[in-house]
Structure 1
C-alpha cells in the first residue's frame, strides 16, 4: 500500500475504494462528506482524478493496449520491456508501462470499478 495512504491525516481526508501493490483509488472527503462524483486513482507516481465514465474509458484503453501488444506474447523480454504504450482518458497523457505494470493498472481500475458498482448496488438498487 502506498505510504501516504497509511498516514492518519490522509485517512481522515479520504475514503479508500481499492488498492494493490502499484497504486490505490479513493474518494476525497470534504467537511466529513464523501465526494463520490470523482475518483482519485494513483498509479506509480501519477495521480488521475476520474469520473466513473472516465474510469470505464481507461479500462477500455487498457484492453486496447493488451490487444495492440498481443504480438509480444512469445518475447522473453515482454514483462520487462517498456515498449507498451498505455493511452489514458487524458488526451495529453500516455504511459510507458511494462506488461507487469499493465496487469497492475488493469487490476487497479477493474477492482475500483467493481467496488464502486457493488456499493452502488448495495446502497442503491439492492436496498429493500
Structure 2
C-alpha cells in the first residue's frame, strides 16, 4: 500500500493525503467511508459539506419519525453530479463529523504552518 498522511478519522471513515515520491500530495484529499472513496479538492470537500447540510434541510420533516436513525431514505448528493448516496441519519451524522473534522484539521494546519507562524 502507498504511504499516506492521515488527516482525520472516526468510527465511520477516514481522510488522508497520499504521499508520492516522499512528498505529501496536498491538493486532493482522499475521503473513505462505507466502502466508498472520494478524491476531493478542498473546494469539493466544502461543496460536500454543503450537500450534507442540504440533506438535513430536505429531510427535516422526518424529525418526529421513530425510524429516522435507521431508515435509508436520506439522499445525500455529492459534488460528483452522477453520484448520490442513500444513508441513514446516523450515517449522515458520521459523514458530517468526518468532513467537518477533516476541514478543521486542514484549516488548523494551514494556520499553524502558514499565517500563524511567527
User: Normalization by structure 1: what TM-score?
Assistant: 0.91
C-alpha RMSD of the superposition? 0.7
- Name stretches of at least 5 consecutive residues in structure 1 with no aligned partner: 1-8
Q: Deviations 1:34-75 (Å, cap 9, x if unpaired)?
A: 000000000110000000000000000000000110000000
Does residue 81 (structure 1) correspond to residue 71 (structure 2)? The answer is yes
Q: Which residue of 2 aligns with 1:125?
A: 115
Does residue 27 (structure 1) correspond to residue 17 (structure 2)? The answer is yes
Q: Which has the higher contact order (CA 8 A, sep 6+)?
A: 2
- Equivalent position to 1:101, from 86, 91, 114: 91
User: Normalization by structure 2: what TM-score?
Assistant: 0.98
Larger helix share, 1 or 2: 1
- Name stretches of at least 5 consecutive residues in structure 2 with no aligned partner: none
Q: List aligned pairs for 1:46-65, cutoff 5 A.
A: 46-65=36-55
Runs of 4+ aligned structure 1 residues displaced above 6 Å come to none
